[in-house]
């Protein structure tokens, strides 16, 4: 066997050894951080449901299971940070980092297996956040509504309010008192049309329906509001009239859904819907880009933890755990500020969602550069 082959074999063994040092801290962090989040809020909510509202233990357990995927996705980046911090801290305390550098390996090469593993963990976190979390959040919402609050499954959607805007000015407001969820038949429809911000016409209809891909108003009347006297006058009555509404029947059901209950495709569909109506979908764009950005915190935190852990200092696992909590806290504070700026339009949502990642990536690369020169 050639010398290069022997060296390559030893490097692969080294990669497995480094990942082995990180495996236990990673799962420890996953359990510990999840437990803290559960004890910090979810456990009290579950106890309140049992004691105050008399909800059965079986329903509470189901709710607990449905809420867990979101907590796990939230704690995976924390666990990556803790694993790298403790794993590389142990390697540094045993002078193994110095020995590896003396053998001619750069810190970037030493941290490579961690980077590759964290990359795949980020992909797994994204898949969970995109597929499992929306379903579990939707299931939890249904349990709360129909089993905890004892609401019956709705046959009708009531009090539907649709506002269409253009150039920052309201163009039309549509109010539907009730819509059958199966047939899409509507009752008591009122349409207010505006002209340069002034209410110009009112259309009322006793009934409406979704038919052959179009909305129709049945048995209604059109009223005009005088620009000078502000008096309301009847223009004409109608038996059947088309309602110009650039919405499909299923779009109306999705207008009031929470972003956490939707996947990326559904979020994009709702964003396009809001844009067609002239509404600002800033919060939805922010939710969309955060769905893409947050999972990659796993990769960034893994690199950051490796760089910090490799510094020539001895620290206990308790100190490493506390340090991880502080770093995560700072990360989410930055993300909260950037999210607020993205939602109100001060920053483009795509930029605002990645600000925290970019800040910590820059810090991680700087620390990695310094770690390469230490020892």
For residues 220 and 206, is the Cβ–Cβ distance under 8 A? Answer: yes
State the Cα–Cα distance between residues 360 and 345, nearest whole angstrom.
23
User: Nearest-CA neighbor of 337 among 352, 327, 349?
Assistant: 352
**Per-residue model confidence (pLDDT) at position 1:** 47
State the Cα–Cα distance between residues 85 and 306, nearest whole angstrom.
5
Could you report the per-residue pLDDT of 297-354, keeping only the tens digit for each?
999 999 999 888 887 665 556 667 778 888 888 998 999 999 889 888 888 888 999 9
Phi, psi at 213, each rounded to 5°: 75, 15
For residues 42 and 140, is the Cβ–Cβ distance under 8 A? Answer: no
Residues 312-349: b if buried by 16+ CB within 10 A, e if exposed: eeebeeeebbebbeebbeebbebbeebbebbbeeebeb
Q: Judging by beta carbons within 10 Å of its beta carbon (0-12, 13-18, 19+), is residue 217 exposed, middle or buried?
A: buried
Structure tokens at 41: 């809020």
State the Cα–Cα distance between residues 318 and 89, nearest whole angstrom.
12
Could you report the per-residue pLDDT of 5-25, keeping only the tens digit for each?
444 545 577 888 888 888 888
| pLDDT tens track, the chain, 375 positions | 454 544 454 557 788 888 888 888 899 888 888 888 777 667 777 777 777 777 788 888 888 888 888 888 889 999 999 899 888 888 888 888 888 888 778 888 888 899 999 999 999 999 998 888 888 888 887 787 777 766 554 555 667 777 777 666 777 788 888 777 677 788 888 888 888 777 888 888 888 887 776 788 888 888 888 877 778 888 888 888 887 776 665 666 666 667 777 888 888 877 877 776 666 777 888 888 998 898 999 999 999 998 888 876 655 566 677 788 888 889 989 999 998 898 888 888 889 999 999 999 999 989 888 877 755
State the Cα–Cα distance between residues 217 and 195, nearest whole angstrom.
22
Sequence-ordered alpha helix ranges (H) in the chain: 3-37, 43-51, 57-93, 96-102, 107-110, 112-127, 133-143, 249-254, 264-276, 282-293, 297-309, 317-343, 349-373
**CA torsion through residues 251, 257, 261, 265, sign:** positive
Output the DSSP codes for 35-46.
HHHIIIIIHHHH
pTM of the model: 0.73
Structure tokens at 261: 């209950």
Measured from the Cβ of residue 9, the count of other Cβ atoms closer than 10 Å reads 11
Planar angle of CA 35, 36, 38, nearest 5 degrees: 65
């Amino acid at each position: 066997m050639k010398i290069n082959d022997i060296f390559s074999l030893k490097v692969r063994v080294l990669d497995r050894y480094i990942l082995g040092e990180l495996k236990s801290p990673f799962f420890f962090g996953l359990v510990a951080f999840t437990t803290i989040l559960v004890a910090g809020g979810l456990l009290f909510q579950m106890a309140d449901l049992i004691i105050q509202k008399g909800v059965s233990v079986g329903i509470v357990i189901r709710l607990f299971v449905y809420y867990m995927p979101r907590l796990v996705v939230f704690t995976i980046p924390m666990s990556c940070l803790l694993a790298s911090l403790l794993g590389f801290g142990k390697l540094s305390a045993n002078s193994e980092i110095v020995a590896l550098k003396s053998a001619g390996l750069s810190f970037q090469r030493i941290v490579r297996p961690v980077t590759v593993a964290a990359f795949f963990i980020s992909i797994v976190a994204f898949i969970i956040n995109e597929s499992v979390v929306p379903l579990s959040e939707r299931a939890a919402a249904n349990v709360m509504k129909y089993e905890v609050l004892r609401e019956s499954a709705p046959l009708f959607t009531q009090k539907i309010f649709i506002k269409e805007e253009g150039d920052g000015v309201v163009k039309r407001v549509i109010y539907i008192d009730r819509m059958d969820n199966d047939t899409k038949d509507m009752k008591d429809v009122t349409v207010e049309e505006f002209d340069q911000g002034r209410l110009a016409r009112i259309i009322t209809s006793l009934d409406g329906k979704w038919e052959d891909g179009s909305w129709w108003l049945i048995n209604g009347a059109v009223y005009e509001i005088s620009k000078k006297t502000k008096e309301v006058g009847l223009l004409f009555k109608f038996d059947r009239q088309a309602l110009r509404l650039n919405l499909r029947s299923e779009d109306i059901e999705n207008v009031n859904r929470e972003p956490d209950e939707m996947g990326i495709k559904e979020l994009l569909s709702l964003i396009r819907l809001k844009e067609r109506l002239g509404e600002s979908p800033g919060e939805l764009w922010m939710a969309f880009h955060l769905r893409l950005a947050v999972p990659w915190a796993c990769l960034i935190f893994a690199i950051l933890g490796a760089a910090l852990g490799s510094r020539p200092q001895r620290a206990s696992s308790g100190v490493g755990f506390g340090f991880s909590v502080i770093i995560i806290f700072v990360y989410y504070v930055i993300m909260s500020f950037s999210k607020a700026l993205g939602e109100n339009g001060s920053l483009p949502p795509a930029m605002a969602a990645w600000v925290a990642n970019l800040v910590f990536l820059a810090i991680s690369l700087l620390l990695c550069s310094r770690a390469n020169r230490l020892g």
